[in-house]
Chains A and B, each alone.
Chain A
């Protein structure tokens, strides 16, 4: 089975969408059928995200944040509509195609970490670089762990780390991949203020270097540092735009 290469696919879609739009959703709906009931997680959704943007997605529990992230990350398929990632239509692409897109385009920071229990912190992070086919995986992994402040815990296994430390390993894993789109579901959920800020600084810095960062959170305070804040309710966008007064520095946040 030949996996389609990223480059080709990106080129194929390049003329359809403007070069700045890394993520593009058109008329996207996502519905779940559970027995008789139909749960609508997202409803006729439109979204374009330019490269290098730091986006914060807000919304009450069950409003469809994770669902949105999964669609953007080509983890899931839509019920209706089109999802383009780096110009490539992934809305109904085959599994191997979507896997190939993810490999070279997105990195996940999951709400539940999902570290590999058998691998050390360093190896978990290396994994991120390995799948994205980065040549200097170990070096990148060390650097990423340094950046999240775990440079001294390289050889520790996930069960030897606290929840927050595990979260930071998950962040490092995503950073080490060097992929252009970073999707984070509650990346600061388990962290204290200081560490949380440290992680946010990192994400902001990466966005500054051109990485598109989408962060899902319940924490309105975090929205203040975003280039763009999207608020969801019942699967629809209720507000979209720069935070009031423009983005502030991470250091100014308090929660």
Chain B
């Protein structure tokens, strides 16, 4: 009998069970799917570094010094325990400029030419597309190529006008993450690496037979630090070379790709937790409402003296059905989300080896949650029904109503009796109403948070773009090859370039700013605030020319915990003689803040530059093309000039920003789809259950001849009330979650980028549509249930 009864329960509730299972499935699936990426990336990085024989140690000769081929290898062989070294690979690294312009786009960037033996490890060159370097042809670094959508075959021009054809895209393990002197965010975009065989690099660099770098693979089990010390010893003991020796763990790319995984995973955990949390809350609400309808039966059973355990079984079975179905759907959704994440990862993160095994552990966690939530949700109302006096369980309305103050329950709105019903029903069972609103609200919270994140990214990009462009979107930043006097030949030549309307000379240098124990790296630019055509927007305070002023990004000041008027220390290069520079620390006052979300940018005026010992020097020119002149033409002329290292239009900042958050954006879209589905399902099912709960009242109204549309109107009005509360909860909750994610989580994940918390009108509209319109209009879809209702049967049944 229990089986038949349960089967009947299932037939009665199957839509609810299936929809709640879908809600749970999406929650757990997103949790499992998003949760897998961290492990996948870690495994894939391990495998990739392994496959490419990532070096154990690396010798980098001091800039500008070289060794003859074989000398570094010999040096390695001369250490105390040469048997620990398995192989050594000598290479030549040359700084260069790269013109990778295509028909549509001018691309002039700083770069590096790496000459190596393409077939040897350690640090084997991975060729993703195309062929390994052959004499006189190269391989272009894949992330740079992807960023500009460059084809896998082409020609680039290097410093000195040499052209180099490349027949493939690839990367060294040490270039899995490219960082340059202008800050991590921009480097991937602004820095091109080209790999050739050693001979070709030597010829292009005009350094026949020279190398300046060696990577070393040790035998299994060798202690890297011990060998590092041995190497340092032989270097120091009259080798004639000055070099730095780093271990694999000190390699920046190696370190950052793993650190990146950690912080990215934390972000995904929060997001999937949010989705799972809202799904769980909604599922809890929905299931308890379905089970609540059996409370009366439990009461009757108790009154008849049936054992509590037997009465609890049926409702608990509803929970179990939902749980099992939810888990199955969850695995399906998880696999789908996982597959989407996987293909995005493969697309966005070029790696030679991908390992994306099914994450049993994560899925087991998700499945456990998927089982616990529905069963608990079913158990709570059952326990409540069993605990109360049977008589109260029978008279459910009585119990529920006690919680609203009587005066509130009698609130009258204008109009006839039918008009009273929505608000009354809303107030009659406040606990249930609030739970419903919370369930829908939780889904909207996740929705607002996810969509808000995309909005915030977009808004941040806009702010950054506005600030760098201002009234001059055509501005070109030309980096000079080295530091020149402002009245030198190179700056003069830049001013003379055809089609140039105006040139501002600046001096850009990396510096460390600190206040108390906190310090951050910045890129300071000395600008003539009085005359320059582009100056940063000063959001507070001003430059007065006192010679000790600095303008910081709002976020940089925030990170240091300083505000306008506070004093900070700047450690910066200062000129000692015509060619020699040393590091010096100067105290300056934060004179003002600028709104650029990239916190790396800082500015000083000429009087402060003077105090820094950098007066009259320039290494960067802000070039403003004349009206009507083709910007690309000016870029090309600038780039081809000797003394100019790169020429970048500031308009590209936007692309740089977009690239930085590309990965998040793409993945967020997956989450967005899940959350939208989730919210709609919850809204829909919530309304369906409300309709179930009110069937009898609707039947009575219809029996008295109330037209279907009037009954529908009361249902919709009640839906609007619940939906309005849910939407308010969702928007407030979503905004709070969003600002927590941005201010706490992103502060760690994207420390260089000051993401603003911003929720667009579109997002608000979507939230309102889901919360209000979907909840309120779902009954319209279910009009059939009213028009087809079997009135005699519905009215006959004692609920």
Docked CA distance A131–B417 (Å): 9
Does A252 lie at the interface of the complex (its beta carbon under 8 Å from any beta carbon of B)? no
* B327-335, B503-511, B703-711 - interface stretch: B703-711
Given A67-B792, A76-B791, A126-B416, do A118 and B704 touch, yes or no (CB 8 Å)?
no
Does A102 contact B417, Cβ atoms closer than 8 Å? no
Does B120 lie at the interface of the complex (its beta carbon under 8 Å from any beta carbon of A)? no
Docked CA distance A101–B707 (Å): 11
Does A66 lie at the interface of the complex (its beta carbon under 8 Å from any beta carbon of B)? yes
Does B795 contact A114, Cβ atoms closer than 8 Å? yes
Does B11 lie at the interface of the complex (its beta carbon under 8 Å from any beta carbon of A)? no
Chain A residue numbers with a CB within 8 Å of B697 are 114, 116-118
Does B798 lie at the interface of the complex (its beta carbon under 8 Å from any beta carbon of A)? yes
Does A99 lie at the interface of the complex (its beta carbon under 8 Å from any beta carbon of B)? yes
Docked CA distance A1–B707 (Å): 10
Given A99-B705, A100-B705, A102-B704, do A130 and B418 touch, yes or no (CB 8 Å)?
yes
Chain B residue numbers with a CB within 8 Å of A131 are 701, 704-706
Interface positions of A from 93 to 138, Cβ below 8 Å from B: 95-96, 99-104, 107-108, 110-112, 114, 116-120, 123-124, 126-128, 130-132, 137
Docked CA distance A99–B791 (Å): 11
Interface bracket on B: 20 to 34
Does B416 contact A118, Cβ atoms closer than 8 Å? no
Interface positions of B from 392 to 429, Cβ below 8 Å from A: 395, 397-398, 401, 409-410, 416-418, 420-421, 424-425, 427-428
Docked CA distance A38–B696 (Å): 26
What's the least CB distance linking A193 to chain B, in Å?
Answer: 24
Does B703 contact A118, Cβ atoms closer than 8 Å? no
- The residue of chain B having its C-beta at the shortest distance from the C-beta of A155 within the complex is B410
Does A79 lie at the interface of the complex (its beta carbon under 8 Å from any beta carbon of B)? no
Chain A residue numbers with a CB within 8 Å of B702 are 99
Does A108 contact B428, Cβ atoms closer than 8 Å? no
Does A177 lie at the interface of the complex (its beta carbon under 8 Å from any beta carbon of B)? yes
- The residue of chain A having its C-beta at the shortest distance from the C-beta of B412 within the complex is A123
Chain A residue numbers with a CB within 8 Å of B637 are none
Does B700 lie at the interface of the complex (its beta carbon under 8 Å from any beta carbon of A)? yes
Docked CA distance A120–B699 (Å): 19
Docked CA distance A246–B410 (Å): 47
Given A118-B424, A124-B417, do A108 and B703 touch, yes or no (CB 8 Å)?
yes
Among A1, A111, A117, A118, the one with the most B-chain Cβ atoms within 10 Å of its Cβ is A118
Does A70 contact B792, Cβ atoms closer than 8 Å? yes
Given A75-B792, A102-B705, A104-B705, do A114 and B700 touch, yes or no (CB 8 Å)?
yes
Does A45 lie at the interface of the complex (its beta carbon under 8 Å from any beta carbon of B)? no
Docked CA distance A116–B702 (Å): 13
Docked CA distance A123–B412 (Å): 10
What's the least CB distance linking B452 to chain A, in Å?
Answer: 37
Question: Chain B 689-702, CB within 8 Å of chain A: the 1/0 string?
Answer: 00000001101111
Interface positions of B from 751 to 799, Cβ below 8 Å from A: 787, 791-792, 795-796, 798
Does A220 lie at the interface of the complex (its beta carbon under 8 Å from any beta carbon of B)? no
Q: Pick from A116, A123, A157: contact of B700, CB below 8 A.
A: A116
Chain A residue numbers with a CB within 8 Å of B398 are 159
Does B417 contact A126, Cβ atoms closer than 8 Å? yes
Chain B residue numbers with a CB within 8 Å of A120 are 410
Chain B residue numbers with a CB within 8 Å of A75 are 703, 791-792, 795
| Pairs of residues from A and B, 5 with the lowest C-beta to C-beta distance, nearest first | A103-B705, A118-B424, A102-B705, A127-B417, A126-B417
Known: A114-B703, A119-B424, A131-B706. 8 other contacts (CB 8 A): A99-B705, A101-B705, A111-B796, A114-B697, A114-B795, A117-B428, A130-B417, A137-B417
Q: Which residues of A contact B (CB under 8 A)?
A: 1, 3, 66-67, 70, 73, 75-76, 95-96, 99-104, 107-108, 110-112, 114, 116-120, 123-124, 126-128, 130-132, 137, 155, 157-159, 177
List 10 A–B pairs whose Cβ atoms lie within 8 Å, in order of A's numbering. Answer: A70-B791, A70-B792, A103-B706, A110-B700, A114-B795, A116-B700, A117-B397, A117-B401, A119-B421, A131-B701
